[in-house]
Amino acid sequence: MTRLIIWRHGNTDWNAAGRVQGQTDVPLNDLGRSQAATAARLIAGLEPSAIYSSDLLRARHTADALATLVKLPVTEDPRLRERHYGLFQGLTDPEIAEAHPEAFARWRGGDPDVGAEVERNDDVGKRVGESLREIAERHPGEVVVVATHGGAARQGFGDVLGWPSDVMSAIRPLQNCHWTELVDTPNRGWQLRAHNVGPWPEKAIPAPV
């Protein structure tokens, strides 16, 4: 049985300020580094055999916290980057609502085609899902950790499971340094085994942006 641990990065200053990050390369803050170190100790107990990461700093540094413990290299894949949020990147919700009211309403309403140069959810799912499937094919029967981002993780695992992108809006996004587990079994194929798993009660972590 192949297991994919799809792990969201730790907290950043933009998370704390409620700013949309997208593919802006924002590093972890002190809280994020602490979260990564704590979560890494739990994930190390799963005995992963490989670690992959988005090439954005917040994901890569999260992956590095685990790599240090389990003495494994980290392989970067830019397909694991967060959704590109176009004109929303760097803005807070009130700023987006003022500058792009129609696109903001579509986004918050779960429309997969937001406009405002925001990457379509279908496209996010396809690129992340492609990466996840290729990773699994390289490591059959192993536990593999993939450090990525909230939106990318959700759309990516939905693509692997064959779920339409609009269905994924009903799945709560990952909290900082929480993870989703997918398993590939010989008889049943890909299944969702766990979601939003992490070392803290969910209420203790700010909602992702």
Active site residues: 9, 82
Q: What is the DSSP string of 86-146?
A: GGGTT-BHHHHHHH-HHHHHHHHTT-S---TTPPPHHHHHHHHHHHHHHHHHHSTTSEEEE
**Per the annotation, does 193 bind a ligand?**
no
Nearest to 173 by CA among 75, 102, 82, 89: 82
**Per the annotation, does 139 bind a ligand?**
no
Distance CA 187, CA 108 (A): 38
**Per the annotation, does 12 bind a ligand?**
yes
**Per the annotation, does 172 bind a ligand?**
no
**Per the annotation, does 149 bind a ligand?**
no
**Per the annotation, does 176 bind a ligand?**
no
The structure tokens 């049943």 sit at 188
Distance CA 189, CA 4 (A): 13
**Per the annotation, does 25 bind a ligand?**
no
- Token pair recorded at residue 10: 């730790």
Q: What is the DSSP string of 33-52?
A: HHHHHHHHHHHHTT--SEEE
**Per the annotation, does 121 bind a ligand?**
no
**Per the annotation, does 187 bind a ligand?**
no
User: Within 10 A of 160 (CB to CB), how many other CB atoms are there?
Assistant: 22
- The Cα-based distances of 31 to 2, 6, 11, 25, 208 in angstroms read 31, 20, 6, 17, 14
**Per the annotation, does 83 bind a ligand?**
yes
Q: Which residues are annotated as a binding site for substrate?
A: 8-15, 58, 82-85
Q: Which residues are annotated as a binding site?
A: 8-15, 58, 82-85
